[in-house]
Chains A and B, each alone.
Chain A
């Protein structure tokens, strides 16, 4: 069993490039070029230098002592929240903007949910002096107002998506339509391991720096590269894909993905794709998808804008179906409580997305010597409004 993408762009039966002909030349150009460009020495040099000097990598692997005591295991936090711009998203946008430049593109578009990917894209566009438009669901623009202003300060135009639930799915539709209308000079920086091949693989490669660093850091701190568990939240699945990447073939490392259950998987308001979805095609790939019997995509719900998506990346659909990764889902309140707990125990206010991964700690029975790495994908600054509204602290 392989967990990497095959020559046709599939992970098992998931993936592919289900795109209208209008996007074919762009996606095909990417497919032909991405590996060649990423593997060039000059690309790697520039990428690594920016990750280190601009983003602040490597991010620490922090032994969370009080959290460990609470759950009876050795819990390490991979501090992606300490990246410049506050989340793992920037690993990918740095990679993609360098790629876009080498493809001769002058303009950048992106979709965003929580605004973290939008901010990370706006940031690298400012850095490279490129024009940038970010599509964002009108509802998300309200939920994540500080990030909207951040993007604007960085010189990006933020365009509201008014269709559907006015969240991430709709922003992605609008970004794809924009790309159809501007195929020649524009590169679309997708923010997760979703979209047509080669996006899922490309984004996973840029995020794989997370598990690459983990290996060395674990070796130093525990004497071995392999933890017993890696836990990450899954919206589209990019932080999880990066945290799992170098461990996919190491069977002894248990991979735990936590989705957003919203108000509960048995309510109409959820975003737990593996619990509620079945195979379908959205945004260019075949994957697990929340949909009606008639094949209409169901509007998801989560308190966390970054997890409010009706699908997951095809790699995760494959990890789920093959049983390689174990999927849990955490409700709004389980996540909020876990977020508040980390704040009190460790002095770290996590992004509400990452708080879902933290809630996952409740679902697992650990042995006291288990080494657990929890990918803390982002910080909670953008979520202060939601924390304040939630209360209970």
Chain B
């Protein structure tokens, strides 16, 4: 294990500097316009996002609700590909230092070639990966060594149905943070936070995990963001931001306003 590379991961820095209200924002690469990826990254950093997740488009996103399905499809229709994403991210580290996570399904990564993928992630300055359909067993056996070698954190999801033992196992085997899916759902499916979700948040909070937790799915505005932040280091916004992007006529202003409205002086 290369501890020097691990220490320099931007995700660690974020959670060292900021104990709460960490805001992570997700958008699909190549959306709304094919060449908007890099611009949106810059606007998000300017507006004050702490972490940025870039979605690798995939034709069959089974964990996503209608909003992200559509942005995926539009991005593919725009001509987006993983290869193109890496070229769009070329040189991005001279402009922004916000941690970047690539989030996507495992098939495009497999076709790219795992090692080439890791190499290119490191080259452009990607800090972490979220591959929801990559099982832990496969990760440990086939991917972990490479991810470690290239300084990439693999972030795992947990849900209200994940057993305590499995949460501990995930905590032991990952870095960066743990992605707490707020309820049993696809992305963007529910709004608001219900009592049973609070019980789950509290249950995980008392587990004293080594990794910080971030709550995602169904976080859409200041109210849900603030509520999630009562129980975790921060929260992740996806579908609500995609909706904003699809309606925006002035990305810079609208992104700035959106992030400010989420934070609302927190």
Contact A296 B58 (CB under 8 A): yes
Number of interface residues of B (CB under 8 A): 42
B 131-171 to A, binary, CB cutoff 8 A, 1 in contact else 0: 01111011000000000000000001111011100100000
A295 contacts B110, C-beta separation under 8 Å: yes
Q: Is the CB of A294 within 8 A of B108?
A: yes
Closest B residue to A17 using CB positions: B135
Of the candidates B64, B111, B135, B189, which one forms a contact with A18 in the assembled complex, judged by CB atoms under 8 Å apart?
B135
Q: For the complex, what is the distance from the CA of A21 to the CA of B162, rounded to whole Å? A: 8
Chain A CB within 8 A of B62 CB: yes
**Residues A67-105 near B (CB distance < 8 A):** none
Are A180 and B185 closer than 8 Å at their CB atoms? Answer: yes
* Least Cβ–Cβ distance between A85 and chain B, in angstroms: 28
A289 to B59, CA, bound (A): 13
Given A180-B185, A294-B82, A296-B58, A19 and B162 contact (CB-CB distance below 8 Å): no
In-complex Cβ contact of A293 among B111, B161, B189 (8 A): B111
Which of A35-43, A224-232, A275-283, A333-341 lies at the binding interface? A275-283
Q: How far is the CA of A156 from the CA of B17 in the complex (A)?
A: 54
Decide if A21 touches B184 in the complex (CB within 8 Å).
Answer: no
Which residues in B have their C-beta under 8 angstroms from that of A164?
Answer: 59-60
A-B interface pairs (CB < 8 A), number: 107
B157 touches A20 (CB 8 A): yes
Q: Which residues of B contact A279 (CB under 8 A)?
A: 110
> Are B156 and A21 neighbours in the complex by a CB distance under 8 Å?
yes
B198 on the interface (CB 8 Å rule)?
Answer: no
B158 touches A21 (CB 8 A): yes
A266-296: which residues lie under 8 A (CB-CB) from chain B? 279-284, 289, 291, 293-296
Whether the pair A22, B159 counts as a contact (CB closer than 8 A) is yes
Cβ–Cβ < 8 Å partners of A293 in chain B: 111
Mask of B170-194 contacts with A, CB within 8 angstroms, 1/0: 0000000000010011100100000
User: Is there an interface contact between A180 and B107, defined as CB atoms closer than 8 Å?
Assistant: no
| A181 close to B185 (CB less than 8 A) | yes
Known: A16-B135, A25-B163. A291 touches B111 (CB 8 A): yes
Which of the residues A20, A183, A295 comes within 8 Å of B133, measured between beta carbons?
Answer: A20
How many Å from the CB of A222 to the closest CB on chain B?
45
Residues in B neighbouring A181, C-beta threshold 8 A: 184-186, 189
- The interface bits of chain A over 289-314 (1 if a CB of B lies within 8 angstroms of the residue's CB, else 0) are 10101111100000000000000000
Q: How far is the CA of A284 from the CA of B106 in the complex (A)?
A: 10
A25 contacts across to B, CB distance below 8 A: 159, 161-163
Complex contact B110–A176 (CB within 8 A): no
Q: Given B112, B137, B162, which contacts A295 in the complex, CB threshold below 8 Å? A: B112
Within 8 A of A (CB), among B116-140: 132-135, 137-138
* B184 in contact with A173 (CB, 8 Å): no
Asked whether any CB of chain B lies closer than 8 Å to the CB of A163, the reply is yes
The reply to whether A296 and B158 form a contact with Cβ atoms under 8 Å apart is no
| Chain B contacts with A in 187-235, Cβ cutoff 8 A | 189
With A and B bound together, what is the CA distance between A20 and B62 in angstroms?
A: 9
B158's nearest neighbour on chain A, judged by CB, is A21
Q: A177-B186, A294-B108 are in contact. Are A18 and B65 (CB under 8 A)?
A: no
Please, could you name 8 A-B residue pairs with CB atoms under 8 Å apart, sorted by A? A18-B134, A20-B133, A21-B132, A22-B185, A25-B159, A177-B65, A180-B63, A295-B112
Report, nearest first, the 5 A-B pairs whose CB atoms are least far apart. Answer: A295-B108, A295-B111, A20-B132, A21-B157, A294-B81
Instruction: List 19 additional contacts besides A22-B159, A163-B73, A293-B111; criterion CB under 8 Å.
Output: A8-B137, A17-B135, A18-B133, A22-B63, A22-B184, A22-B185, A164-B60, A173-B62, A180-B62, A180-B63, A180-B184, A181-B189, A279-B110, A282-B107, A294-B82, A294-B112, A295-B109, A295-B112, A297-B59
A residues near B (Cβ < 8 Å) are: 8, 16-22, 24-25, 163-164, 169, 173, 176-177, 180-184, 279-284, 289, 291, 293-297
